[in-house]
């Protein structure tokens, strides 16, 4: 069954784009791998781990955002790699190919209203509350969806950037992604295409023929190439960002990894650095991770089934002076 979401999105309705999705997309559970209930003894170990920490460093991945309805790449059976032959754009391809940029931005343009509307779930809110109560020293996320920022997380670094910002590769001017959407609308007043499915980075599925007439603006200041302010596959995180996070980690007394398999080295490196500095590691994730052998606590469960409840227990025990 196909669903027309014309009436659900004013931006798309005004622009005359018929954005259609499969009905199963309406269920957030579509993107969450099957997982048994958490084992009470594992949850208790994680609670004890957190109670011992006074300056907690947290790293999050795509597994925290699947519960907000955003698919990931690698989850077994439900990730983008398992469901399709689709692969994310490479940095070098985006930079060198005008056709690749046109394809990327056309897909992103159609998917943006839905992608940008996703909201934080109880796990994002719990982590923001940990910051407010002084439990959380710093958070680094591998996600580019801005959900931690929407949850009002402040002591935070977006390791791979954020799709809600756009940067000029020429003069490095940064604008809001919402501003670029208005430019797309002005340049493509009669562009009318259909799309199916949303990818983790917010774009959708379109054919080359569909995007052939889509127009992409250049930077207003210098005429340069506009790119999401995110680290595409094949690119690297800046050395300055990595070193600043190493400093934050060295100030912490524990590392908690939430919703990440750590298959990408840019995240895994922080588990290695924690081991090097003898900082204990705990992991909350569905399935195996690259750092399981480094952790002293591992909970195999959905983030939302465990972490918000740990927050509640922790606060209650602090109130009674435990």
Q: 162 labelled as ligand-binding?
A: no
Q: 179 labelled as ligand-binding?
A: no
Q: 292 labelled as ligand-binding?
A: no
Q: 225 labelled as ligand-binding?
A: no
- Tokens 């931006």 sit on residue: 11
Q: 261 labelled as ligand-binding?
A: yes
β strands within the chain, DSSP E: 2-4, 18-22, 56-60, 136-141, 156-158, 161-168, 174-176, 194-198, 204-205, 226-230, 254-258, 281-284, 297-299
Contact 192, 18 (CB under 8 A): yes
Question: With helix as H, strand as E and coil as C, how does 200-257 read?
Answer: CCCCEECCHHHHCCCCCCCCCCCCCCEEEEECCECCCCCHHHHHHHHHHHHCCCEEEE
Q: 71 labelled as ligand-binding?
A: yes
Q: 23 labelled as ligand-binding?
A: no
137 is catalytic: no
Q: 159 labelled as ligand-binding?
A: no
Q: 314 labelled as ligand-binding?
A: no
What tokens were used for 303? 């983030």
Q: Rounded distance, CA 215 to CA 114, Å?
A: 21
Q: 74 labelled as ligand-binding?
A: yes
Contact 104, 203 (CB under 8 A): yes
Q: Rounded distance, CA 177 to CA 166, Å?
A: 6
What tokens were used for 139? 């958070």
SS3 category, 300: coil
Q: 117 labelled as ligand-binding?
A: no
- CA 287 to chain CA centroid, Å, is 18
Q: Which of 25, 160, 172, 293 is catalytic?
A: 160
Q: 316 labelled as ligand-binding?
A: no
Q: 79 labelled as ligand-binding?
A: yes
**What are the angstrom distances between the C-alpha of 298 and each of 184, 265, 288, 290?**
45, 20, 9, 12
Q: Rounded distance, CA 153 to CA 248, Å?
A: 16
- CA 313 to chain CA centroid, Å, is 27
Q: 78 labelled as ligand-binding?
A: yes
Q: 65 labelled as ligand-binding?
A: yes
Q: 304 labelled as ligand-binding?
A: no
DSSP 66-88: GGGT---SS-TTTSHHHH-S--P
Q: 80 labelled as ligand-binding?
A: yes
Q: 66 labelled as ligand-binding?
A: yes
Across the beta sheet with 161-168, the strand order is 174-176, 161-168, 226-230
Say how many C-beta atoms besides its own lie within 10 A of residue 200's C-beta.
21
Instruction: Pick out the residues of the known binding site for Zn(2+).
Output: 168, 171, 219, 222
Instruction: Pick out the residues of the known binding site for NAD(+).
Output: 61-81, 142-145, 259-261, 285-287, 303
The residues annotated with a catalytic role in the active site are: 160
Instruction: Pick out the residues of the known binding site.
Output: 61-81, 142-145, 168, 171, 219, 222, 259-261, 285-287, 303
């Amino acid at each position: 069954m196909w669903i027309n979401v014309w009436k659900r999105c004013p931006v798309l309705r005004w622009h005359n784009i018929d954005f259609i999705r499969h009905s199963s997309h309406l269920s957030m559970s579509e993107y969450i791998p099957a997982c048994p209930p958490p084992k009470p003894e594992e949850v208790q170990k994680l609670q004890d781990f957190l109670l011992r920490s006074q300056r907690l460093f947290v790293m999050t991945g795509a597994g925290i955002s699947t519960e907000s309805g955003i698919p990931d790449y690698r989850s077994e059976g439900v990730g983008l790699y398992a469901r399709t032959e689709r692969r994310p754009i490479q940095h070098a391809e985006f930079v060198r190919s005008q056709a690749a940029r046109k394809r990327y931005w056309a897909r992103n343009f159609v998917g943006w209203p839905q992608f940008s509307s996703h909201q934080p779930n109880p796990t994002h809110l719990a982590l923001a509350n940990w910051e407010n109560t002084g439990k959380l020293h710093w958070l680094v996320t591998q996600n580019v969806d801005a959900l931690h920022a929407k949850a009002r997380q402040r002591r935070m670094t977006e390791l791979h950037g954020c799709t809600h910002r756009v940067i000029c590769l020429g003069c490095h001017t940064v604008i809001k992604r919402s501003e670029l959407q208005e430019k797309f609308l002005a340049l493509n007043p009669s562009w009318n295409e259909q799309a199916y499915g949303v990818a983790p980075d917010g774009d959708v599925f379109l054919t080359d023929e569909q995007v052939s007439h889509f127009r992409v603006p250049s930077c207003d200041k210098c005429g340069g190439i506009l790119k999401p302010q995110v680290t595409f596959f094949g690119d690297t995180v800046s050395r300055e960002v990595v070193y600043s996070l190493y400093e934050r980690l060295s100030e912490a007394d524990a590392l908690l990894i939430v919703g990440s398999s750590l298959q990408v080295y840019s995240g895994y490196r922080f588990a290695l650095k924690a081991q090097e500095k003898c900082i204990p590691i705990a992991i909350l994730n569905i399935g195996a991770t690259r750092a399981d052998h480094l952790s002293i606590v591992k909970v195999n469960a959905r983030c939302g089934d465990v972490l918000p409840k740990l927050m509640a227990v922790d606060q209650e025990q602090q109130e009674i002076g435990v």
